[in-house]
Chains A and B, each alone.
Chain A
Amino acid sequence: NAGVTQTPKFQVLKTGQSMTLQCAQDMNHNSMYWYRQDPGMGLRLIYYSASEGTTDKGEVPNGYNVSRLNKREFSLRLESAAPSQTSVYFCASSTVQETQYFGPGTRLLVL
């Protein structure tokens, strides 16, 4: 099993550009999450989806949108990237509020 996969691995954007980060899991998990990780800070939840068809804001949702395309896929979109969104983005999945399994991350640099 691949577990949780994310694309792309790296991305450089200019301020104002848009992009979508893709995430897919093959563990038949109901819940999926998007986090960002910045130096000196813990993982911060951007959005989560408790089950297919539902999405909810996390701690830092501003500047992001998400789509739970189906049970497997959960995408994160930056409509107009800002330098403050330079970060490492992790997608995770879990059964209902159990252990979260993380993807390998996407390193994003916004110039």
Chain B
Amino acid sequence: RKEVEQDPGPFNVPEGATVAFNCTYSNSASQSFFWYRQDCRKEPKLLMSVYSSGNEDGRFTAQLNRASQYISLLIRDSKLSDSATYLCVVRSHTGGFKTIFGAGTRLFVKA
């Protein structure tokens, strides 16, 4: 089992739709969580950190469920420019720092 798992998609949604991605992680000692965005043939860039109480940044909402060991990303009112691959990132701080990247979920937003 991979340490961080994501549905690879692709998710094909129309403009204006709401779409949600989940990411599960296996290490219960994981302490920090992030969503990165990666455009085609570009480098990953931080989209947002994920806090225990959940957090929002404009149209994006991130949630953490420690009991079930998953994080989620909700995108409201999807734009064409949201088309990208979304990477889930999990970091543990026990026995040294370890950062694991998920393989990503591809999103296509269509007009």
Contacts and interface: CB of A to CB of B under 8 A. Distances in A.
Interface residues of B, number: 20
A40 B44 CA distance: 15
A99 B44 contact: no
A90 B87 contact: no
Interface string A26-43: 000000000100001111
B93 A90 contact: no
B1 interface: no
A107 to B, nearest CB: 8
A97 interface: yes
Contacts of B49: 99
B104 A42 contact: yes
B102 A42 contact: yes
A45 interface: yes
Contacts of A43: 44, 87, 101
Q: How large is the interface on A (under 10, 10 to 19, 20 to 34, 35 or more residues)?
A: 10 to 19
Given A97-B91, A97-B93, A97-B97, A40 B103 contact: yes
Given A42-B102, A43-B101, A97-B97, 8 more contacts: A35-B101, A40-B8, A90-B43, A97-B99, A99-B34, A99-B49, A102-B43, A104-B43
Where chain A touches its partner, the secondary structure class is loop
Contacts of B99: 45, 97, 100
B46 interface: yes
A93 to B, nearest CB: 12
6 contacts: A42-B4, A42-B87, A42-B100, A42-B104, A99-B49, A102-B45
A99 B87 contact: no
B86 to A, nearest CB: 12
B103 A99 contact: no
Nearest to A105: B43
